[in-house]
Amino acid sequence: MPRRATTANTLAAAVRRHFGLTQAELAAFVGVSQQQLARAEAGRKQLGPGPDQRLQVLARQLPPPDGIGPAAPAFGDEAPPPDPAEAAEGLAALRQRLARCQWLRTKLAYQVGQQRQPNQARLQRRRWAVQVLGPLLAAPLPRPDWLAPGGPALPLPPYPQATPDAARDTHWLQGLALRLAATTAPLSLAAAALARARLAGLDAEIQELTAAILEFVGEEI
């Protein structure tokens, strides 16, 4: 005969423990609210004929003396050893994520480092130099006024005003412009703050992943 409800150890509580159910799950099965089931588990209220009949469906699966079902296996707190193929797949996923996080951290650390360097003014000056020098170096060398009839009217300047080799100097300026285009612009203050926040998160994830891999395989990576 199945036991009836007692305050210390009710039938509803025994069913929940045996099958690992929550109060909400068992309440949904027997057809009452979670609050009603909680009162029934505490021995303060009966479930009623309908819900009690539903409870007996599960209670009959309890081991004797409460039911006629088999005893539950001895479940431990530790997880069973994983399948070798599943373990290898899991380890590969951990290592792949770790490599990804390390790459992202390197990229972000470079960007944050760029922001900390006092190079913003220099970068702006180099861009300005490309704009200013472009027309000057592309201009052809003017005709010397000493070749004009009658000779120079004024003393010659020590250096000509335009480059004597526009093609060469224009090529040099184009190289400077290409290097500027490949230069990472310094981050704004807000972008740098976000980058530092992501960097801190990646550091924490890398630490957790490294610890998980070491625990998983018991070896250094």
- Residues 1 and 96 grouped into a single domain: no
The pLDDT tens digits of the residues spanning 57-77 come to 888 888 888 878 788 777 765
In the block, which residue shows the tokens 């009839």? 149
Residue 155 lies in a domain: no
Average predicted confidence (pLDDT) for the chain: 78
In the block, which residue shows the tokens 């972008």? 191
- Measured in whole angstroms, the distance separating CA 82 from the mean position of its chain's CA atoms is 27
Q: What is the CATH number of the domain that holds 59?
A: 1.10.260.40
The CA distance from 11 to 31, in Å, is 16
Rounded alpha-carbon distances, angstroms, from residue 108 to 102, 113, 139, 194, 195: 10, 8, 43, 10, 6
Check: pTM over 0.95? Answer yes or no. Answer: no
Residue 47 lies in a domain: yes
Residue 104 lies in a domain: yes
- Residues 54 and 112 grouped into a single domain: no
The pLDDT tens digits of the residues spanning 191-214 come to 778 888 999 999 999 999 999 888
The CA distance from 216 to 218, in Å, is 6
- CA torsion 160-162-165-167 (nearest 10°) is 180
- Residues 136 and 190 grouped into a single domain: yes
Cα within 13 Å of Cα(95), Cβ side: 13
Domain region containing 120: 84-140+161-217
**What pLDDT, on the 0 to 100 scale, is given for residue 74?**
73
- Residues 94 and 174 grouped into a single domain: yes
Whether the CB-CB separation of 195 and 124 falls below 8 Å is answered with no
